[in-house]
Amino acid sequence: MKCAIVTGASRGIGKAIAIGLAKDGFQIVVNYLNNERKALETVAECEVYGVKAIAVQANVSDYEACRQLVSKAKETFGSIDVLVNNAGITKDNLLLRMKPEDFTNVIDANLTSAFHMMSFVTPIMLKQRSGRIINISSVVGIYGNKGQMNYAASKAGLIGMTKSAAKEIGVRGITVNAVAPGFIQTEMTDVLGDTFKETIIQNTALKCLGEAEDIANAVSFLASEKARYITGQVIQVDGGLSL
């Protein structure tokens, strides 16, 4: 049975991705930072589909923690077939008010983390001569957003990383793609005011916010055999917000 690691899978989009991949028959490594109870709920919801899942605490901003996360996954399931770099945070502020640590922390959690995970997973996939890496970017990384310079830089960086890695490791049958969500209803966007949400809805062709499952469905496709000839791409799942 194949194995997928999903970072930041205790809640929100990561949780929906983990459950979606479990439905597709993958054994799942549910990574989380603090929220063990929610991570165990994700594990239980994955196991409903007859696969084994484990929860592994690791701060993906930390190189050594990622090494341990990947070796735990390999030791438990024997192979790593899919890596989804989903863990992410925001620390929004206008450029003139942004503290250096708010810039660095967001880059570390959203971008450097993906480098850490890919560093440890890629050698395993190269040996297997197969694998799928899916990075969760954002439309903000493509179009920018006021008050999110740190976040936009991290998500744009993920796109550059995706394309470069796709060129580097495609020769061994490994695909690397990114999914760029628009505004999706999760705890990350719960903090936004109703007026702001209404503006987003009005600017979205489909006139609604997205759901975590909309992102999970795109990830399931990219992880499937049907997507074998797609690499280095960014799929925008945003209800037409960016049109």
Q: Which residues bind ligand NAP (CB under 6 A)?
A: 7-14, 31-35, 38, 59-61, 86-89, 109-110, 136, 138, 181, 183-184, 186-189
Spot the catalytic one: 32, 143, 151, 229. 151
CB of 71 to ligand NAP, least distance (A): 16
* Sequence-distant (≥ 6) Cβ neighbours of residue 39 within 8 angstroms: 9, 10, 30, 31, 32, 55, 57
Of the two residues 35 and 242, which places its CB atom closer to ligand NAP in the complex?
35
Instruction: List alpha helices for 95-236, DSSP H.
Output: 100-107, 113-128, 140-143, 149-169, 187-190, 194-202, 212-223
Kindly give the interhelix angle for 36-47 and 12-23, rounded to the nearest 10 degrees: 20
Could you tell me how many residues make up the chain? Answer: 243
Q: Which is nearer to ligand NAP, 131 or 239 (CB)?
A: 239
The residue assigned the tokens 């936004």 is 192
In angstroms, give the least distance from the CB of 126 to ligand NAP.
Answer: 25
Active-site annotation holds for 151: yes
Q: Tokens 């696969």: give the residue.
A: 51
The amino acid that residue 9 corresponds to is: A
Q: Which is nearer to ligand NAP, 40 or 124 (CB)?
A: 40
Q: Between 32 and 77, name the residue whose CB sits nearer to ligand NAP.
A: 32
Tell me the closest approach of the beta carbon of residue 72 to ligand NAP, in angstroms: 14
Q: Which is nearer to ligand NAP, 37 or 129 (CB)?
A: 37
State in angstroms the smallest separation of the CB of 49 from ligand NAP: 20
**What minimum distance in Å lies between the beta carbon of 227 and ligand NAP?**
19
> Residue 191 class from Cβ within 10 Å (0-12 exposed, 13-18 middle, 19+ buried)?
exposed
The CA distances from residue 174 to 43, 77, 96, 100, 164, in Å, are 27, 19, 41, 36, 13
H/E segment holding residue 191? none
The string of DSSP codes covering 105-139 is HHHIIIIIHHHHHHHHHHHHHHHHT-EEEEEE--T
φ and ψ of 68, to 5 deg:
-70, -35
Please give the positions annotated as active site.
151
